[in-house]
Chains A and B, each alone.
Chain A
Amino acid sequence: MQNRPSGFGNPWLQLGLSVVCVFASELLLKRGASEVAAPDDAFSWTGINGLASPLVWWAIVLIIASFISWLYVLRYIPLSFAYPLSRVVDILVPLGCWIFLGELISTLRWCGIGLVVFGLALVAKPIAKMEERL
C-alpha cells in the first residue's frame, strides 16, 4: 500500500467508485431487462433480447468501468483487504431494490438477505485469501 497516488488515482476513491458502478449497473440491468421482458418467449432465457434496452448498454459501460477500477485497486490494496470492503455492495443492492426499484420485499426475504449478507461478511477474508492462491 506504499506510494499511493492521490486525487482521482487514490485507490480508496477507486474502490468506492468500483462499488458504486457495480451497484448502479445491477439496478440498470434490472430496469433494462424489465423494459424488454418477454417471459413467454423461450428465447428470452438467453437474455440476448435485453440488448434492445439502452439501460442494459449503460449497465455494460458501468460493469467495464467497475472492472477497470477494480484492477487498479488491486495494484495498491491487497485482495484480502479490498474484497471484504467491496462486499458492502451486498447491502446496497437489496436497499436499492427497495428504494429505487420499488420491489416489495417480504419479511421472509429480508431475513434471507440478512443471513446471506452476514455469512458473506464472515467468509469474505478467508475467501479472498483462497482466491489469491487458486
Chain B
Amino acid sequence: MTFLAFLFILISLVTFVAAQLILKKAMEFSATHGMRNSYFVSRVAIGVVLMTVSFFLTLGLLQRFDLSYLYPFQGLSVIFITILAAVVLKEKLSARLAIGALLITAGIVLVSMS
C-alpha cells in the first residue's frame, strides 16, 4: 500500500464519520427548531458534501484494491469515534473499548500486510 492510498482511506473514513455526526446534530436540531432555518440547511449541506467526498474516494480506492482488503479498514471509524468521545465528552476509555480497539488495529495491520 502506498502512502497516498492510506491517506485516501483515512480521509474517506474521517469524512464519513464527521458527516454522520453532523447529520445527526442537524436532525436533533430540526426536532425542536424545524427545518426552515439556515443552521439546519447548512449542516445538512455540509453532511451531504462530506458523504459524497467519502463515497467517491472509496470508489477510487476500489478501482485499485480488493474489497476484502479495503473493507476491514472501516474498523478504524470506531477508533475515530472513541478519540472524539474522549475529547468532546471527556469519556474514559473502558477496558472493553481498549481491547476492542487493539484487536481492530492488529487486524488492520495483518490485512495491510496481506
Do A and B actually bind? Answer: yes
Q: Which A residues contact B (CB, under 8 angstroms)?
A: 26-27, 29-30, 33-34, 36-39, 44-50, 56, 63, 90, 93-94, 97-98, 101, 103, 105-106, 108-109, 111-120, 122-123, 126-127, 130-131, 133-134
0/1 interface trace, chain B 76-114, chain A, CB 8 Å (1 if under): 001001101100110100101101111111111111111
A119 proximity list for chain B (CB < 8 A): 75, 78, 99-107
B69 in contact (CB, < 8 A):
yes
Closest 7 A/B residue pairs (Cβ): A47-B59, A115-B107, A112-B110, A119-B103, A123-B100, A116-B107, A47-B60
Chain A nearest CB from B59 CB (Å) reads: 3
Main secondary structure of the interface of B (DSSP, over half): helix
Q: Decide: A103 and B57 in contact? CB cutoff 8 A.
A: no
B112 proximity list for chain A (CB < 8 A): 112
B63 in contact (CB, < 8 A):
yes
Q: Which B residues contact A (CB, under 8 angstroms)?
A: 4, 8, 20-21, 24, 55-64, 66-69, 71-72, 74-75, 78, 81-82, 84-85, 88-89, 91, 94, 96-97, 99-114
A131 proximity list for chain B (CB < 8 A): 20-21, 24, 81
Known: A46-B56, A47-B55, A122-B100. A111 touches B110 (CB 8 A): yes
Chain A nearest CB from B15 CB (Å) reads: 13
Alpha-carbon gap, A90 to B113, bound state (A): 20
**Interface contacts beyond A50-B59, A93-B68: sample of 10 additional A-B pairs, CB < 8 Å, sorted by A:** A29-B59, A33-B62, A45-B60, A47-B60, A50-B63, A97-B66, A97-B67, A109-B110, A119-B75, A120-B100
